[in-house]
Amino acid sequence: MTERMLRSVMIANPKGGAGKSTLATNVAGHWASLGARVMLGDIDRQQSARHWLALRSPLLAPIQGWDIEPEQPARPPRGTTHVVLDTPAGLRGKRLEAALRMVDRVLVPVQPSLFDILATGDFLTELAEHKRVAASRVKLGIVGMRVDVRTRAAHELERFCAALDLPVLAYLRNSQLYVQAAAHGMTIFDLSRSRALQDREQWQPIIDWLDSP
């Protein structure tokens, strides 16, 4: 990371299909819409974020990928101010340790099903016990994905996270806007405010957390 880096966030969950890439691309889209120099880095073998970037129109707010040179480690492009890391399922141990050294925040997307909650529990405990997290050098936040806040499932997720003393920042609905936007390399922050109003309102607590000191 460069000295000019303002914000860096990792999107992580040990379970596949939790919504990591959706969260990562839209975090990047939010910062890009504000004029930040954003890098969306993909350390997932599926390279979902890199494929998404290839779809993105040059007419939209720019988001860059890694600078990759032969025989050199991937790194943020010069002048980058905001970094978003999309991570693979099963990220644990030394790879998790290395990723945590690169960021100041971690967002964990969780779907409110019993299996998703159980799969995420040990991972959240591991994160919370990490020395950088324990020393408050890295902040943790949880996002409920594809969930109606009025449902019992949402209440179960809230109770689960409360037991770990971790905040559920927001609940994002199961909206086709995310699917439609992603198919064109876009985010809800690239859409008109009127079209994406409900989804943007759901994002506001996440934005406040991302942009807080």
Q: What is the pLDDT of residues 85-139, one digit of tens each?
A: 998 877 778 888 888 888 999 999 988 777 788 778 888 888 888 888 877 888 9
User: What is the pLDDT at residue 1?
Assistant: 43
Backbone Cα Rg of the chain = 16
Determine the average pLDDT of the residues in 24-47. Answer: 89
* Within-domain flag for 193: yes
Would you place residue 10 in the very low, low, confident or very high pLDDT band (cuts 50, 70, 90)? very high
Tokens of 22: 């959706």
pLDDT at 184: 95
Query: Is the per-residue pLDDT at 61 higher than 50?
Result: yes
- The answer as to whether 2 is a domain residue is no
Are 80 and 67 in contact by the 8 Å Cβ rule? The answer is no
Residue 148, domain member (yes or no): yes
Structure tokens at 56: 């993105």
Dist CA 34 CA 203 (whole Å): 15
Query: Does 19 map to a domain?
Result: yes
Residue 1 is assigned to a structural domain of this protein: no
Q: Residue length, the chain?
A: 213
Residue 175 and residue 139 in contact, taking contact as beta carbons nearer than 8 Å: no
pLDDT at 45: 61
In a domain, 62, yes or no: yes
Report how far residue 45's alpha carbon sits from residue 134's, in angstroms, rounded to the nearest whole number. Answer: 29
CATH number of the domain that 205 lies in?
3.40.50.300
Reported confidence tier of residue 210, pLDDT bands at 50, 70, 90: very high
Q: How many domains does the chain have?
A: 1
* Both structure tokens of 41: 């880095």
Q: Which domain holds residue 113?
A: 7-211
The pLDDT value recorded for residue 70 is 57
pLDDT > 90: percent of the chain: 46
- At residue 54, does pLDDT exceed 90? yes
2: pLDDT confidence band, cut at 50, 70 and 90?
Answer: very low
Residue 81 maps to a domain: yes
Residue 55 belongs to some domain of the structure: yes
> What is the rounded average pLDDT for all residues in the chain?
86
Kindly report the three-state secondary structure assignment for every residue of the chain. Answer: CCCCCCEEEEECCCCCCCCHHHHHHHHHHHHHHCCCCEEEEECCCCCHHHHHHHHCCCCCCCEECCECCCCCCCECCCCCCEEEEECCCCCCHHHHHHHHCCCCEEEEEECCCHHHHHHHHHHHHHHHHCHHHHCCCCEEEEEEECCCCCCHHHHHHHHHHHHCCCCEEEEECCCHHHHHHHCCCCCCCCCCCCCCHHHHHHHHHHHHHHHCC
